[in-house]
Amino acid sequence: MSFQIAAHQTEHYQVNTEVFSGPLDLLLELIERAELDITRLALAQVTDQYLEYLRRLQQQNAAEVSAFLVIAARLVQIKSAALLPRPPAVETTIPEEDPGEALARQLIIYKRFKELAGYLQQREEKHLHTYLRL
């Protein structure tokens, strides 16, 4: 699955660490495909770089910041699950959810909300103040 969902929101921001350099959406894709070990990625460095990027901007975009926060929170969740010790194996009938799949599902939902927000914004710009159920 390709993670182009938040790319338009953070297209100018590039992650640059010892283990990865490139756009944020590519970082997510590599982690999702297990091609990059998230335990080797310094999330504090990614966050510090993003904060520096925001300081340099003339005007901050709330949608861009919120897109980064959603992705960063999910990356922290995935990394903490990878680093924390697992309890002893107990037979369960419910299989554990793959963190990459959960991230993909959340990003798909996020994309849908962004599309709907764009649609509503277009209607507002056209002064159409009645809304059908979406």
Answer whether residue 5 shows pLDDT above 60: no
Alpha-carbon gap, residue 37 to 79, rounded angstroms: 9
Answer whether residue 123 shows pLDDT above 80: yes
DSSP single-letter state for residue 39: G
Give me the numbers of helices (H) and strands (E) for the chain, helices first please.
Answer: 4, 2
Answer whether residue 67 shows pLDDT above 70: yes
Which two three-digit tokens encode residue 71?
A: 């992705």
Give the pLDDT of residue 91: 66
pLDDT tens track for 23-56: 887 887 888 788 889 889 888 999 899 888 888 8
Q: pTM for the full model?
A: 0.56
Residues 104-121: b if buried by 16+ CB within 10 A, e if exposed: bebbeebeeebeeeeeee
Helix axes 62-83, 24-32, angle to 10 degrees: 30
